Structure 1
Amino acid sequence: MSDTVLALKDVTLRLRGNAGMVEILHDITLDVAQGETLSLVGPSGSGKSSLLMIMGGLERATSGSVLSLGQDLTALNEDGLARFRRDNMGVVFQSFHLIPTMTALENVATPLELAGHADAFDRAEAELEAVGLAHRAGHYPAQMSGGEQQRVALARAAAPRPKLLLADEPTGNLDGENGQAIIDLLFGLRDRHGATLVLVTHANSLAQKCDRMIRLTDGRIADQQLRAAE
Structure 2
Amino acid sequence: MTNNDSPVLHLLDASLTLNSNTGPVEILHGISLDVRQGETLGLVGPSGSGKSSLLMLMGGLEQATGGRVAALGQDLTAMDEDALARFRRNNMGVVFQSFHLIPTMTALENVATPLELAGVKDAFDRAQAELQAVGLGHRAGHFPAQMSGGEQQRVALARALAPRPAILLADEPTGNLDEANGAAVMDLLFGLRDRSGATLVMVTHAPELAARCDRVIRLRDGRIDEEAAREAAE
Query: Shorter chain as normaliser: what TM range?
Result: over 0.9
Kindly report which structure 2 residues correspond to 1:125-204, keeping only aligned pairs within 5 A, or say none: 125-204=128-207
- Aligned residue for 1:4, secondary structure, equals coil
The answer on 1:45 being equivalent to 2:48 is yes
Following superposition, the deviation at residue 208 of structure 1 comes to 1.2
In the superposition, relative to structure 1, how do residues 33 and 225 fare at CA in structure 2: closer, same or farther (>3 Å)? farther
- Aligned residue for 2:165, secondary structure, equals coil
**Can you give the 5+ residue segments of structure 2 that lack an aligned partner in the other structure?**
none
What is the identity, as a one-letter code, of the residue corresponding to 1:32? V
1:75 matched residue in structure 2:
78
2:94 matched residue in structure 1:
91
The answer on 1:32 being equivalent to 2:35 is yes
In the superposition, relative to structure 1, how do residues 227 and 105 fare at CA in structure 2: closer, same or farther (>3 Å)? farther
**Can you give the 5+ residue segments of structure 1 that lack an aligned partner in the other structure?**
none
Distance 2:17 2:126 in 1: 40
C-alpha contact 1:212 1:226 (8 A) present in aligned 2 = no
Distance 2:38 2:193 in 1: 7
Instruction: Using structure 2 for the length normalisation, give the TM-score.
Output: 0.95
Distance 2:232 2:96 in 1: 24
Q: 1:11 aligns with which of 11, 14, 17?
A: 14
What is the identity, as a one-letter code, of the residue corresponding to 2:67? G
What is the identity, as a one-letter code, of the residue corresponding to 2:104? T
In the superposition, relative to structure 1, how do residues 24 and 102 fare at CA in structure 2: closer, same or farther (>3 Å)? same
- Aligned residue for 1:102, secondary structure, equals coil
The answer on 1:105 being equivalent to 2:108 is yes
Instruction: Tell me the number of residue pairs that the alignment of Structure 1 and Structure 2 aligns.
Output: 228
Instruction: Using structure 1 for the length normalisation, give the TM-score.
Output: 0.96
In the superposition, relative to structure 1, how do residues 224 and 119 fare at CA in structure 2: closer, same or farther (>3 Å)? farther
Identity value in percent? 76
1:58 matched residue in structure 2:
61
The answer on 1:224 being equivalent to 2:233 is no
C-alpha contact 1:90 1:165 (8 A) present in aligned 2 = yes
Distance 1:33 1:14 in 2: 27
